[in-house]
């Protein structure tokens, strides 16, 4: 059995993934996403920039032949190489690891630190030893990074016969973090014990769907189908892993049990507001009906202005370049009964300022038209671009006052029978469909990156179509929201509401 630092990393993110990697049916896996491949390319670029003025040695054998690559790494360490890039450390057997249970089969532990750096000290090699450095794309030292760094440090110390030294993490912008082994060594050992115990016993962890952590996993589709079949509570907005464990202890593991559970008992565990939100969300999902939280529909309607001309706004960005390259604007003129979409796109990063000025000219043609969007990002981008391109404070403030964030209105005032509150999930629940079925914000990042390299116009056209559909989905949601809130019979019991009536409005 081969257990690597990648296995520990994956286990910290999702304890189910290593099990499926070892024992799952490979045909159930999805292909690696373009976005994941792009992230790996960015990490390699980050490593290259960090090593720009450093002369490194690197083993010649590919990583898939890790035994030979490990021997080459060991030879470089014996020779006293100053820097070893992407070397392999491995140990067969568990001597020195203090595993508190018997293991019936041979285990090999393997790690691939980004860099091994020679430093003064004592080791089996002589009066020098090595320090592991991990270069990660993250902006902060995440717990999974620290577990991996501790694992690499322990394995290295056993191989070179020296005390473990605090390893280093290099993150974005070359920011550095040193891992305190007196804290993280024991946590790493707990993770290693859990991984070995699970794999040896072939004990499949329970499925849990997390939008953030599952997004880049190749088992996402497989696990999602499992969760849907059993109506797992992780599909319910607001149910975090910690809250789910508490719900299991209370015996509330189904939608019906949660919806009709003891409110006082839930309030004791979660607090009144969280408990109420969870129960209402379960109720909405169970009966497939939207609910108001507490405010009256009329008071909510007052926060959603309407006008003869309305603007719907959505942005496509490239985070790595800190670039907002597409400002999509849909202008709906109710009097003229027209809808016109304007894709203001920077075909190169240098055109961002031009696109910003085009946006200002367009939306200021009617200074009274409300500007609808779906997230805080649009407001934050307006502030960023206004500061960057010296827009007057008065014009910036006038623009910000016209913004209407529908995400804020939905999440503050409504509960919807959806698995999350993203625009795509809600609009699809309302019957809206994107023309690019496989498109997403992440996919657009990849398409734009490819556009800059290839100048293939089809890539830019696909991004524009996706952005236009985002704007139209926002318009679709706003129309439904106003109609829903305008519905007269707001005092009907939730279980008796005819939702089909709402969808037809």
Beta-bridge mates of residue 418? none
Mean pLDDT of the chain: 92
DSSP output for 221-287: HHHHHHHHHTT-GGGSTT--HHHHHHHHHTT--SHHHHHTS-HHHHHHHH-HHHHHHHHHHHHHHHH
Three-class DSSP category at 486? helix
Could you say which of 149, 183, 201 is where a domain stops? 201
Q: Residues 180, 162: contact at Cβ < 8 Å?
A: no
Q: Domain check: are 123 and 21 in the same one?
A: yes
Q: What is the CATH classification number for the domain harbouring 41?
A: 3.90.320
Q: Domain check: are 43 and 129 in the same one?
A: yes
pLDDT over threshold 50, residue 101: yes
Q: Domain check: are 105 and 254 in the same one?
A: no
What local confidence, expressed as pLDDT, does residue 504 receive? 41
- Average the pLDDT over 109-113 and give the result: 97
Alpha carbons 300 and 349: distance in angstroms, whole number: 40
Q: How confident is the model at residue 295 (pLDDT cuts 50, 70, 90)?
A: confident
Q: Domain check: are 397 and 467 in the same one?
A: yes
Q: Domain check: are 430 and 465 in the same one?
A: yes
- Average the pLDDT over 132-156 and give the result: 94
Q: Domain check: are 182 and 59 in the same one?
A: yes
Q: How confident is the model at residue 230 (pLDDT cuts 50, 70, 90)?
A: very high
What local confidence, expressed as pLDDT, does residue 459 receive? 96
pLDDT over threshold 50, residue 440: yes
In a domain, 373, yes or no: yes
In a domain, 235, yes or no: yes
In a domain, 229, yes or no: yes
- Average the pLDDT over 307-322 and give the result: 95
Q: Which residues of 266-292 are buried (b: 16+ CB within 10 A; e: fewer)?
A: beeebeeeebbbbbbbbbbbbbebbbb
pLDDT over threshold 80, residue 305: yes
Residues 6+ apart with CB under 8 A from 195: 3, 7, 8, 11, 18
Q: How confident is the model at residue 215 (pLDDT cuts 50, 70, 90)?
A: confident
Alpha carbons 466 and 464: distance in angstroms, whole number: 5
- The residue segments making up the domain with residue 393 are 299-504
Three-class DSSP category at 317? strand
What local confidence, expressed as pLDDT, does residue 461 receive? 96
Token pair for residue 13?
Answer: 């993110």
Three-class DSSP category at 15? coil
Q: What is the CATH classification number for the domain harbouring 240?
A: 1.10.150.20
Neighbours of 99 (CB within 10 A): 13
Alpha carbons 130 and 117: distance in angstroms, whole number: 5
pLDDT over threshold 90, residue 188: yes
Could you say which of 258, 293, 328 is where a domain stops? 293
pLDDT over threshold 80, residue 346: yes
Q: Domain check: are 280 and 310 in the same one?
A: no
Question: Position of tokens 């623009």?
Answer: 399
What local confidence, expressed as pLDDT, does residue 493 receive? 36
Q: Domain check: are 315 and 382 in the same one?
A: yes
Q: Which of 251-255, 290-294, 322-326, 500-504 has the lowest mean pLDDT?
A: 500-504
Number of domains in the chain: 3
Which secondary structure element, helix H or strand E, spans residue 377, and what is its range? Answer: helix 377-388
Q: Residues 219, 20: contact at Cβ < 8 Å?
A: yes
pLDDT over threshold 50, residue 499: no
In a domain, 337, yes or no: yes
Closest CA to 245 of 225, 226, 269, 264: 269
What percent of the chain is predicted at pLDDT more than 70?
96
Q: 3-state SS string over 378-421?
A: HHHHHHHHHHHCCCCHHHHHHHHHCEEEHHHHHHHHEECCCCCC
pLDDT over threshold 50, residue 224: yes
Residues 6+ apart with CB under 8 A from 126: 80
pLDDT over threshold 60, residue 3: yes
Question: Position of tokens 């016993």?
Answer: 201
Q: What is the CATH classification number for the domain harbouring 350?
A: 3.30.420
**Beta strand pairing call for 168-170 and 126-135:** parallel
Distance in Å from the first CA to the final CA of the chain: 59
**Beta strand pairing call for 176-178 and 168-170:** antiparallel
In a domain, 311, yes or no: yes
Three-class DSSP category at 342? strand
Alpha carbons 266 and 276: distance in angstroms, whole number: 8
Q: Domain check: are 36 and 69 in the same one?
A: yes
pLDDT over threshold 50, residue 203: yes
Alpha carbons 371 and 312: distance in angstroms, whole number: 6
Rg (CA), the chain: 27
Using one digit for the tens of pLDDT, what is the confidence trace for 381-414?
999 999 999 999 999 999 999 999 999 999 999 9
- Average the pLDDT over 93-104 and give the result: 91
116 or 33, which is more confident? Answer: 116
Neighbours of 327 (CB within 10 A): 28
Alpha carbons 411 and 426: distance in angstroms, whole number: 11
What percent of the chain is predicted at pLDDT more than 90?
85
Q: Residues 207, 232: contact at Cβ < 8 Å?
A: yes
Q: Domain check: are 361 and 250 in the same one?
A: no
What local confidence, expressed as pLDDT, does residue 505 receive? 37
Alpha carbons 30 and 32: distance in angstroms, whole number: 6
pLDDT over threshold 50, residue 418: yes
- Average the pLDDT over 61-82 and give the result: 96
In a domain, 206, yes or no: no
In a domain, 390, yes or no: yes
Beta-bridge mates of residue 86? none
Q: Domain check: are 189 and 229 in the same one?
A: no
- Average the pLDDT over 345-374 and give the result: 97
Q: At what angle do helices 406-413 and 457-486 cross, to 10 degrees?
A: 40
Q: Which of 142-156, 337-351, 474-488 has the lowest mean pLDDT?
A: 474-488
What local confidence, expressed as pLDDT, does residue 173 receive? 74
In a domain, 381, yes or no: yes
Which secondary structure element, helix H or strand E, spans residue 144, and what is its range? Answer: helix 143-160
Could you say which of 246, 278, 293 is where a domain stops? 293
Q: Domain check: are 163 and 44 in the same one?
A: yes
């Amino acid at each position: 059995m081969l257990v690597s630092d990648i296995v520990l990393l994956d286990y910290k993110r999702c304890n189910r993934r290593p099990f499926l990697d070892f024992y799952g049916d490979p045909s159930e896996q999805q292909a690696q996403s373009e976005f994941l491949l792009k992230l790996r390319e960015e990490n390699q670029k980050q490593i290259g920039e960090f090593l720009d003025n450093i002369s490194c040695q690197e083993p010649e054998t590919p990583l898939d032949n890790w035994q030979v690559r490990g021997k080459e790494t060991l030879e470089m360490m014996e020779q006293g190489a100053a820097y070893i890039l992407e070397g392999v450390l491995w140990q067969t057997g568990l001597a020195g690891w203090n595993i508190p249970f018997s293991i019936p089969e041979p285990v090999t532990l393997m790690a691939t630190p980004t860099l091994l750096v020679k430093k003064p000290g004592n080791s089996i090699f002589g009066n020098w030893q090595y320090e592991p450095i991990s270069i990660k794309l993250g902006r902060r030292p995440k717990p999974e990074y620290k577990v991996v760094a501790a694992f690499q440090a322990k394995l290295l110390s056993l191989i070179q016969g020296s005390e473990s030294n605090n390893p280093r993490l290099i993150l974005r912008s070359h920011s550095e973090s040193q891992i305190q082994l007196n804290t993280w060594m024991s946590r790493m050992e707990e993770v290693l014990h859990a991984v070995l115990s699970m794999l040896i016993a072939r004990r499949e962890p329970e499925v849990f769907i997390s939008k953030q952590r599952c997004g880049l996993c190749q088992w996402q589709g497989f696990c999602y189908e499992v969760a849907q079949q059993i109506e797992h509570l992780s599909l319910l907005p607001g149910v975090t892993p910690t809250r789910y464990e508490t719900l299991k202890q209370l015996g509330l593991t189904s939608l019906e049990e949660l919806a009709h559970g003891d409110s006082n008992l839930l309030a004791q565990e979660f607090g009144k507001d969280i408990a109420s939100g969870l129960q209402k969300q379960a109720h909405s999902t169970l009966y497939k009906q939207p609910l108001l939280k507490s405010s009256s529909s009329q008071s909510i309607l007052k926060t959603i202005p309407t006008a003869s001309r309305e603007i719907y706004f959505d942005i496509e960005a490239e985070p790595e370049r800190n670039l907002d390259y597409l400002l999509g604007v849909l202008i709906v003129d109710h009097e003229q009964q027209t809808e016109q979409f304007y894709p203001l796109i920077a075909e190169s990063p240098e055109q961002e300022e031009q696109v910003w000025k085009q946006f200002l000219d367009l939306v200021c043609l009617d200074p009274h038209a409300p500007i609808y969007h779906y997230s805080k990002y649009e407001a934050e981008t307006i502030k960023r671009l206004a500061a960057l391109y010296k827009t007057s404070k008065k014009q910036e403030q006038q623009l910000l006052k016209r913004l209407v964030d529908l995400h804020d209105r939905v999440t503050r005032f409504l509960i919807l029978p959806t698995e999350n509150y993203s625009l795509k999930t809600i609009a699809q629940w309302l019957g809206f469909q994107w023309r690019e079925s496989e498109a997403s914000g992440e996919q657009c990042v990849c398409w734009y990156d490819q556009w800059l390299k290839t100048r293939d116009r089809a890539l830019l056209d696909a991004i524009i179509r996706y952005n236009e559909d985002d704007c139209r989905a926002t318009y679709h949601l706003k129309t439904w929201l106003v109609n829903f809130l305008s519905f007269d019979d707001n005092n009907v019991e939730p279980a008796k509401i005819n939702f089909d009536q709402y969808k037809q409005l």
